[in-house]
Structure 1
Amino acid sequence: MNSILLLQLTLILCSLLLTIGMIIYLKHQMELIILPIQYAGQKLMHPLLEKPSPIQMSELLHTKSKQELLIFTDTACPHCIPSLEQFLEMKKQRNLNVSFSILLKNGQKEDQELYRDSQTNMRIIPVDEQMIDKFQIEEFPYYIMVEEDETISYAAPFPDGLYSRIPAK
């Protein structure tokens, strides 16, 4: 009787040790695949978020503005124009008061007409790869809000999170 009880206790102890070993192994494996803290949801947070702008806005825009939305686009991007149209429609619907500029990668003079809008006074600034690299842009379109103190308060490939931050006229 004692040998059966001892055998059962040994089996329970072995299965407990095996379970603990499996938990430790799986925990270690999960640490390898869990996203680092700089990820929000499934998207990587922009490395310049809440940091100073890599360039002075007055150098880029040749104006002084309290807050500036930079919309990075590429002439080869099929999503840029529809995204910009959606942003302009939302700006109009919500009567948002925001100064913005379109930074057009590889833009030529004739490309600027793609973005021309008779009702919106938007600045279209052709930029090169060096400017794209300074802002660490890896996809297009990309929306970056630069505050008056030249810190970046918003950075995302879509403008949805901006609407609550921008005051109405």
Structure 2
Amino acid sequence: MTSILLLQLTLIVCSLLLTIGIMIYLKHEMDLIILPVHHVGQKLVHPLLEKPSPIQMNDLLQNNHKQQLLIFTDTACPHCIPSLEQFLETKKQRELDIPFSILLKNGKEEDQELYRDNQTNMRIISVDEQMTNIFQIEEFPYYIMVEEDETISYAAPFPDGLYSRLFEK
């Protein structure tokens, strides 16, 4: 009877040690496979975020709005028009009062008509590669919010994070 009990205890201890060993091994393997959380799905923060705008907004836009959302697009970008349409629909649904301008890279007169609609008074400004380089834009579309004091408070290739910031104010 004692030998059976001792055998059962030995088997239980061996199973526990084997389970712990397997868990440690799997954890080590997962650490090798999966990047740390601060790398997963994240890009580096835009270098101009929370810094002064590289150019005066009055020089670029010829207006004196408090805030200004700059939407950088490119005529060769297949995602720009759908992204802009989604932005306009969200702006309308949430009744956001935010002045914005579309900075159309390599835009020509006929390209600007792609972005026009009858309900929104969109300001479309043709810009060259030099302007996109000044704002360090590497992908399109790209949304940059410039505050009244001309600091950049938001910079991302999508406007989703911008909506929550606008509601906080």
- Interval containing the TM-score (normalised by the shorter chain): 0.7 to 0.9
Query: Structure 1: which 5+ residue stretches go unaligned?
Result: 1-25
Give the SS at the match of 1:155: strand
Following superposition of structure 1 onto structure 2, how do residues 23-102 of structure 1 map, counting pairs within 5 Å? 42-102=42-102
- Aligned equivalents of 1:40, 1:89: Cα separation in 2: 30
Q: What CA deviation, in whole Å up to 9, does each residue of 1:86-105 have, x standing for no partner? A: 00000000000100000000
- Aligned equivalents of 1:164, 1:143: Cα separation in 2: 14
What RMSD in Å do the two structures reach over aligned CA positions? 2.1
Q: Report the alpha carbon displacement of residue 117 of structure 1 after superposing the two structures with TM.
A: 1.2
Normalising by structure 2, we get a TM-score of 0.75
Following superposition of structure 1 onto structure 2, how do residues 8-27 of structure 1 map, counting pairs within 5 Å? none
Matched, 1:119 2:119: yes
Q: What CA deviation, in whole Å up to 9, does each residue of 1:64-91 have, x standing for no partner? A: 0100000000000000000000000000
- 2:147 match: 147
- Aligned equivalents of 1:70, 1:86: Cα separation in 2: 15
Give the SS at the match of 1:162: helix
Aligned length: 136
Normalising by structure 1, we get a TM-score of 0.75
